Structure 1
Amino acid sequence: MALRFSTKAGTLAGLQERLTSARIAPLLSFTVRDWQVGRQACLRDIQGRLDAGPWIVRSSCLREDGVQASGAGAFLSVLDVNEAGLESAVEQVIASYGDANQADEVLIQPMLSNVVRSGVAFSHDPNTCAPYRVVNWTEGRDTASVTGGLGGRLWQQAAHSKVPPPPDMLPVVTLLEELLELFEGVPVDCEFAVTREAEGEVLWLLQARPLILPARPESEATQADRLENIQRKVARGMRPHPFLIGQRTVYGVMPDWNPAEIIGIRPKPLALSLYRDLVTDSIWAYQRHNYGYRNLRSFPLMPHFFGLPYIDVRLSFNSFIPADLDEGLAGRLVDHYIDRLLSEPTLHDKVEFEIVFSCYTLDLSQRLERLASAGFLEHELEAISSSLRKLTNRIVHPKDGLWRADANKLDTLNARREALLASNADPLERIYWLLEDAKRYGTLPFAGLARAGFVAVQMLKSLMTVGVLSQADYDCFMGGVSTVSGQLARDRATLDKATFLARYGHLRPGTYDILSPRYDEAPELYFDWTQRPSVPEPVQPFSLTLPQMREIVKQLESHGLQPDPVGLLDFMQAGIELRELAKFHFTRNLSDALALIAQVGAQHGISREDMAYCDISVFKELHVAAANTSDVLLRSIEQGKARHAETLKVSLPPVITRPEDVWSFEWPETAPNFITQKQVTAPVVGSDDREILAGAIVCIPNADPGFDWLFAYPIAGLITAWGGANSHMAIRAGELGLPAVIGAGEVLYRRWSAAQRLHLDCPGRCVEMLA
């Protein structure tokens, strides 16, 4: 006979005689009416039927653990209660009910001792409704920290996983499966603890209740079919390839062109297809080859698994190998890079800084010692060094540097856009050419300038390593960089609304997301126009001392690098500034195209929300074919909605190191990027809390440049879930001297964004939750 969920006490009592996969501590319960008419009898009952304290006095209210609302955390439980405090504890629990029902209950159980692990477990993912067994736990007895969203480790596994759970998770999964069976498949949410007893570790069930889901969960068989398809795709991609060096690959959401930061981990089809078209299908490889790296053209960098975008890391690592490097040595280098990432997956958002050698720097010989330790020979290290030196000299040359030609293309982009928008071209033709130009004169030079910006930062850091610059010099240099974001803050303080929006109105949080309003589409959403912010302090340019200039001359000559000290300084500043400027200009083409896409949809009675599900390829088709626009769009939207519905049901780890990872994984805590050498303590808010942004640490999901409007407010600090050490927001925070944690990762971001107050200690690389 199936069990039915009841009150907390009733459900546990019903399970006591039938549950075999976990123990339930002895329990006693009574109603509010029982307490009110026979308090002393209740107290005698507790002391007579339960072992001597300490006890836990728990809520068991009719308004919690229901099939319509869980009421989780709404009522009080009192821990470590002794005989003297028992009456008071019961009163406190009943008082937490507010207007108590006479049938509400109070539950008393002995406190568990020797607790080594505790947490919560779900039979289904509470967010996606998919049949994943999800366990969130901490080492120790405090389940409140995880039920309140404030911490713990997070592991999940598909229902029909082909991979067994780790030993410490197996008992919890077995408990979930038994609860599903006892309650006839009703999704379940439970709290558990593990104690260390003489016979070993023992699992205890503390609570079981129905898991309230926003939609009906799909079948476990449907999930299994989908994950089998992903596993096969991952396995195929991990084989050797005749046109690639490296024996295998890894997939990640943050290496290289970091899709998690730019479009998110579950983008809608329009955003996903736009990013592929503008960057990751071909532009990325075209730029790398232009700059002297291996030719990877025709290799799409970003596969997706049912709509979840990943970077093929073997492709990325191939593309950072100088084109003139010996094939055998290049292959060993790629394999070494992949092995390093496998051993330290938390470096997946720092591959260029911590794993790959993609340019020459003044401290390269010290950094190459890692390769010597891995068995690379002296002549091989010299070959790598020589190739990187030639490649870097081509990039940074004071007159003929590759970045200069890329910078000039931005003028062409702007001129062509203005001519196109002033013409009689219809919306479909405008969309086509805005995006074509965005690639040729926008994302292609942006990719080159981003490479120059990376080389600039690497060179700047190497000047610190060899002792030419101090940390204070580095901070001063970065603070003196003049970026678009800094100019935006200054212009917000001085320009009138119309002029400001004419200049910056195309920006939007979520650059590729048609559902994110542009600044000029919703100006009141982003800015308080009733008051003008104060003018930021002017940027103070950094200058070298004479001894520093002499030392740089010595260093450059000894390393065979071409620029003079002034030229090197100019390159480093231009590299960082032009990267941001290029992004500003190409996103205007993209943003205008998205506005026109919404306009075309409206002309055919299709909402902006529905247009987010179409694929950008249909606009290329409509440009060349005599097709019915409405039919083509609606067909693409229908297909996109079906695909995205599947996207929402898939969970995958941020780094996939083997095909089996698609079935079972623990969400890793990443190694965040701390920006500046400052500390701050402040309340925590989200970007939607515009009225209380001032003086707060703001949490945003990614380091997208569309969030630049935040800097018009005097925020105290910044935390992003995704973003690299050289991302837009990292550069911006450095320029402003704003304490920031960029790329916290899913687990830490959830934890910190749920806190009320944080202390950011950037020099100590530490975040402390104060409340």
Structure 2
Amino acid sequence: MTDRISSKADVLKSLYGKLKYSRVEKLKIVTGAELDADPYGLAAEIAEEFAGGYIVVRSSSSNEDGLNTSNAGHYESILGVDPSDGEAVVRAVREVLDSYKCDLDDVSGEQVLIQRQITNISYSGVIFSREIKKDRPYYTITYDDSSTDAVTSGRGGKTVYIIRNVDCDELPANWAALIRSMRELEEMHPEYPLDVEFAIDEDNTVTIFQMRPLAASINGVHSDVDDEEVFRTVLEAEDTYREISSLVGDRNTILSDMAFWNPAEIIGENPHPLDYSLYREIITSAAWNQGLSYIGYREVDGDLMYKLGNKPYISLKKSFLGLMPDELDDRLEAKLLKYYDKKLIDDPTAHDKIEFEIAFSEYDFSTEDKLGTLTEAGFTREEIADLSDSLFNLTNNAICNFNRNRMKDLRALNGLRVHRENTRSNWLMAHNDVVTLIQYFVQLIESIKHYGTPKFARQARLAFISKAISRSLVYRGYFTDKEIDDFMMSIYTVASEYDSDFQDLVDGRITRVTFDEKYGHLRSGTYDITCETYAQREFDLSKGSAAARKQRQTIEELKHNPLDSVKLMEALEDIGFYVDLREFLDFLKDSMEEREFFKFEFTKTLSLAIDILIDIGDKLGISKEDMAYLEVPDIQLMVNRPAEFTGDIWRKIIDQNKKKFQRASMLILPDVIYDPLQLKCIEIWEARPNFITSECVTGDILLLENYENEDHEDVADVQDKIVVLPKADPGYDWIFAKGIKGFITKYGGVASHMAIRCAEFNIPAAIGCGDCIYSFVEKQQTVTLDCAHGKITKGV
């Protein structure tokens, strides 16, 4: 291969006429010397050889396509040149040659490639023979279906990953044709991984525009996991998916990493075993439904969350069931489930918005209009009326009983606090052995499950209803977007309080001890044992944030600026809920405050349980990084076991789980899955971000994940920056006290924690951008975040 890959033009010449599964367009190679010697004679030859249609004049520099660097897209290529226009041909060739001069002094021996510009293209793009970030055994296809150079020019592109050992007969016809052609090229050039530019026409004929060594893979990071292990792990994931489908009662059940309880946002797409099992144990195993069934939703048995490889997924069937009013009859329930499934599969980008765009889970000012669309899906008037009545009754009862349920839940939360503080005192005041500490841990987890998370789940659902009603007030025309944005900012939650207290800490009005007593339990990864608590960090208090102070002042002013009572009374009379104006307004405000308060409180107990687990590890000589590979059942099983065996047993489990985790980390998995083939052919849909506020800001971005293992406050100056983060765990609340300009996340839903935070502080945000948009953003220095028009563009 080193002899034959010398230039783009030479490679294509060597392939011309020799390929079975693809083709190379007729080509002509010209040099700088030939152009200088007889430019118009050369143009006449090109006109004769390529008469009819258009040509593309492409770079083929000696400085491209090397083993160490590709310089992909570095030099000019000119599309749509009329070969009969000699001036245009000469100008295009010269322009390409001139683009080489930024790197080369002498271009007389350099090549320019002339080919006919093909038409009837359905897909065009680039395929790599391996995934380059982790050197995983996946063909990586970045393509566009509207332009021949959108991918190579960096203007766009969708992505598909295909496992290298896939049977082409399983694939869609277009990708099957491309993989067959790629395998043929690999057989001809087996020495190195390949980077191939291609087009596929309407008949699925593949045309090769370029082939070169995949320099990024040759010189990149190489995994210790061999390809065969990855292939086996994919098969295991397929088996697991089928088992989940059987458990749920579907042939091919729908799973999502961001629906409903959005695990990808909270614990990430590749969480350690402990993170995943903690989240499952205290929320998705039962608490999520216990909280909802109490206020009138359907009771659902079994886990909500499952795992393929290391990636957490939410069951859409159980989500949809859990969001249905309990008074619906079984027949209508089954019909709705079928409708919801179809709607999600028709638009997978709605998977993080199911409560807003797919499921009917509450009654607000837009509900009747949305229900009206069900007639087109075959629902009868009687069925629609039954659904409307059940949604109204559920929502009305939730609002009417809000204060009573809140007081009951607050009493339970107090029980959680008492148990936590008693455990903390016993832990700190006595010399505890490993057996006792394990008992503390298990008891704390059980306390959270009993007193904490079912109540939090209920308050979170009530807050969702409140937010949906508030936004629908704009839909019905009672209020403007800005009025509702201001209303959201007027809600004084724990985050507002944190912002205020942090400024007091900066300004010296409170001590660090006082601050830590209140917020010291927070972690940037709430469920992640490897993350330090706020109390363990050093904050940079040397400079205050003028922007944060201004933000705080705005919030203070808006606290006394509620929604117009006359308009709100008119709206209340229109919708017909059985509460007076004061009760209605209290529900809209207090439900959102309580959601954040309940989360804040139960995570105190969770943080203590994690601290005790770290202490257990210290006593056994196991680091917290290794403890992350345990699961909650591994800890529970050792409650009454002799302490001398615990360390040895856990070390064996940790070793096994590490190896399993490493293998599973090599998988590429979709955001949404409803067919086992999606584990082999993974299409990355371009997500629809959830835009918060109606503001438009331009600013420098700051990739906060670059500082994930460091003290954020010391390293990252986030003031006046647009902060970019893959997942937005509540432990990142500190950024809201720093005067940030905007916020962008890869994962997150419209009702997620960070969406609520940004609305509360009126911070422009795009929550849940997905892989494609996030990849674009992280490559930029400056972006414009236009929330009003739902766009993120390169800043100027």
Do they fold alike, i.e. is TM over 0.5? yes
Question: Which residue of structure 2 lines up, in the alignment, with residue 127 of structure 1?
Answer: 133
Task: Report if the CA contact (8 A) 1:398-1:567 is conserved.
Answer: no
SS of the aligned residue for 2:527 comes to coil
Question: Are 2:554 and 1:554 equivalent residues in the alignment?
Answer: no
Task: Report if the CA contact (8 A) 1:118-1:141 is conserved.
Answer: yes
Question: Which residue of structure 1 lines up, in the alignment, with residue 113 of structure 2?
Answer: 109
Question: Which residue of structure 1 lines up, in the alignment, with residue 685 of structure 2?
Answer: 668
Question: Which residue of structure 2 lines up, in the alignment, with residue 566 of structure 1?
Answer: 582
1:344-743 equivalences in 2 (<5 Å): 344-397=347-400, 401-423=404-426, 424=430, 425=432, 426-495=436-505, 496-524=511-539, 528-534=540-546, 535=549, 536-537=552-553, 538-539=555-556, 540-541=558-559, 542-555=561-574, 559=576, 561-627=577-643, 628-687=645-704, 688=706, 691=716, 693-743=718-768
Question: Which residue of structure 1 lines up, in the alignment, with residue 23 of structure 2?
Answer: 22
Moved more, 209-218 or 649-658: 209-218
Shift of 1:506: 2.2
- Amino acid in the other structure paired with 1:452: L
Shift of 1:507: 1.9
Shift of 1:256: 1.2
Shift of 1:464: 3.2
Question: Which residue of structure 2 lines up, in the alignment, with residue 34 of structure 1?
Answer: none
Structure-2 separation of matches of 1:432 and 1:256:
27
Structure-2 separation of matches of 1:497 and 1:751:
39
Question: Which residue of structure 1 lines up, in the alignment, with residue 712 of structure 2?
Answer: none
Moved more, 319-328 or 670-679: 319-328
Structure-2 separation of matches of 1:700 and 1:230:
28
Shift of 1:720: 0.9
Question: Which residue of structure 2 lines up, in the alignment, with residue 231 of structure 1?
Answer: 238
SS of the aligned residue for 2:359 comes to coil
- Amino acid in the other structure paired with 1:286: Q
- Amino acid in the other structure paired with 1:505: G
Question: Which residue of structure 1 lines up, in the alignment, with residue 710 of structure 2?
Answer: none
Structure-2 separation of matches of 1:531 and 1:309:
40
Structure-2 separation of matches of 1:289 and 1:161:
44
Q: Deviations over 1:670-714 (max 9, x none)?
A: 222111111112222212475553322221112321221222222
Structure-2 separation of matches of 1:389 and 1:404:
23
- Amino acid in the other structure paired with 1:604: L
Find 2:194's aligned residue among 165, 183, 188. Answer: 188
Structure-2 separation of matches of 1:508 and 1:147:
41
Question: Which residue of structure 2 lines up, in the alignment, with residue 33 of structure 1?
Answer: none
Moved more, 345-354 or 403-412: 403-412
SS of the aligned residue for 2:61 comes to strand
Structure-2 separation of matches of 1:622 and 1:24:
68
Structure-1 separation of matches of 2:629 and 2:247:
35
Q: Deviations over 1:519-553 (max 9, x none)?
A: 232334xxx32112243214313434453254145
SS of the aligned residue for 1:411 comes to helix
Question: Are 2:281 and 1:270 equivalent residues in the alignment?
Answer: no
Question: Which residue of structure 1 lines up, in the alignment, with residue 69 of structure 2?
Answer: 70
Q: Deviations over 1:471-514 (max 9, x none)?
A: 33312211111122222222111124443333222222222222
Find 1:152's aligned residue among 157, 181, 184. Answer: 157
Question: Which residue of structure 2 lines up, in the alignment, with residue 36 of structure 1?
Answer: none
SS of the aligned residue for 1:760 comes to strand
Shift of 1:555: 2.9
Structure-2 separation of matches of 1:511 and 1:629:
26
Task: Report if the CA contact (8 A) 2:700-2:721 is conserved.
Answer: yes
Normalising by structure 2, what TM-score? Answer: 0.85
Structure-1 separation of matches of 2:486 and 2:95:
59
Structure-2 separation of matches of 1:313 and 1:84:
58
Task: Report if the CA contact (8 A) 1:683-1:757 is conserved.
Answer: yes
Task: Report if the CA contact (8 A) 1:294-1:318 is conserved.
Answer: yes
Shift of 1:668: 0.7
Unaligned runs of 5+ in 1: 31-38
Question: Which residue of structure 2 lines up, in the alignment, with residue 342 of structure 1?
Answer: 345
Moved more, 690-699 or 451-460: 690-699
SS of the aligned residue for 2:195 comes to strand
Question: Which residue of structure 2 lines up, in the alignment, with residue 309 of structure 1?
Answer: 312
Task: Report if the CA contact (8 A) 2:764-2:787 is conserved.
Answer: yes
Task: Report if the CA contact (8 A) 1:253-1:310 is conserved.
Answer: yes
Moved more, 102-111 or 713-722: 102-111
Structure-1 separation of matches of 2:246 and 2:667:
24
Shift of 1:383: 2.5
Question: Are 2:781 and 1:756 equivalent residues in the alignment?
Answer: yes
Question: Which residue of structure 1 lines up, in the alignment, with residue 332 of structure 2?
Answer: 329
Q: Against the structure 1 CA distance between its residues 65 and 254, is the aligned structure 2 distance closer, same or farther, given a 3 Å change threshold?
A: same
Shift of 1:222: 4.6
Structure-1 separation of matches of 2:471 and 2:13:
63
Q: Deviations over 1:336-357 (max 9, x none)?
A: 2222212222111111111112
Moved more, 159-168 or 342-351: 159-168
Aligned residue pairs, count: 743
SS of the aligned residue for 2:141 comes to strand
1:115-264 equivalences in 2 (<5 Å): 116=121, 117-139=123-145, 143=149, 146=151, 151-162=156-167, 164-184=170-190, 186-193=192-199, 203-210=207-214, 211-212=217-218, 213-215=220-222, 222-238=229-245, 249-264=253-268
Q: Deviations over 1:17-67 (max 9, x none)?
A: 75442316646598xxxxxxxx847854998698479733343339x632x
Moved more, 265-274 or 232-241: 232-241
Structure-2 separation of matches of 1:747 and 1:334:
30
Q: Against the structure 1 CA distance between its residues 615 and 207, is the aligned structure 2 distance closer, same or farther, given a 3 Å change threshold?
A: same
Shift of 1:470: 3.2
SS of the aligned residue for 1:310 comes to strand
Moved more, 452-461 or 379-388: 379-388
Moved more, 111-120 or 419-428: 111-120
Task: Report if the CA contact (8 A) 2:696-2:786 is conserved.
Answer: yes
Shift of 1:267: 1.2
